[in-house]
Structure formats: C-alpha cells, structure tokens
Amino acid sequence: MYVCAGKNLTKIPISRISDYMEQEQDYYSRNKQARKEYQRKYYEKNKERIQRRRKLDEIADPERFKARKNYNQSYYQKNKEKILKRRAEAYAAKKALKKAHS
C-alpha cells in the first residue's frame, strides 16, 4: 500500500500503516500549538482582506452565506459553554498579565 509522506508516495507494508499513522498523529499533536499560533497571526494579518472577500461572497451567493451563518450559529450553540469558558480564561490571563506589568 502507498501512503503520502510529504510530497512523495511511500510504499509501506500494511502491517506498519497503524505505526505510520500514529507517527503522523504525534507530529500534529506536537505542532498543534505552533500551527494555531501561525493561523492566528495569519488571520490578524489578513483580517480585512478575508472580511472583504466574505462580503463579496455574500453578495455573489446569498445561499452560501446563509449556510455558513447557520453553521456558525449551530456550532456556537452546541459549544457555548466551552467557548465562554475559553474566553473567560483568556480574559483572566490578560487581566493578570496587565496587573503584573502595572
């Protein structure tokens, strides 16, 4: 069986596929924080461009916009407690940092 390893296809025996998948999972787990930080910085850097693009998409395809809005609303309702808890933790951390620097 062939498995994509970066840009190349690598032949891996079927018995080793689970080992390979665990290695890949470990890679993503190890780099999760760095990846999230990169995504956050990218969004902050390109926020205006992304918002303009979304506005154009909304005008061009209102149904797609409604679908995305409905998805966001349902996601928020489903994960409201986690989201609010995360926001509260972030706010408390910023407040503590600000107080420490004062």
CA 15 to chain CA centroid, Å, is: 32
Q: What is the arithmetic mean of pLDDT over 19-45?
A: 86
pLDDT band at 10 (very low <50, low <70, confident <90, very high): low
pLDDT of 100 strictly over 90: no
Cβ atoms within 10 Å of 68's Cβ, excluding its own: 14
Is 10 in a helix, a strand, or coil? strand
Q: What is the arithmetic mean of pLDDT over 11-28?
A: 73
Cα gap 22→12, rounded to integer Å? 14
Q: How confident is the model over 51-79, as pLDDT tens digits?
A: 999 999 999 999 999 999 999 999 999 99
pLDDT attached to residue 99? 86
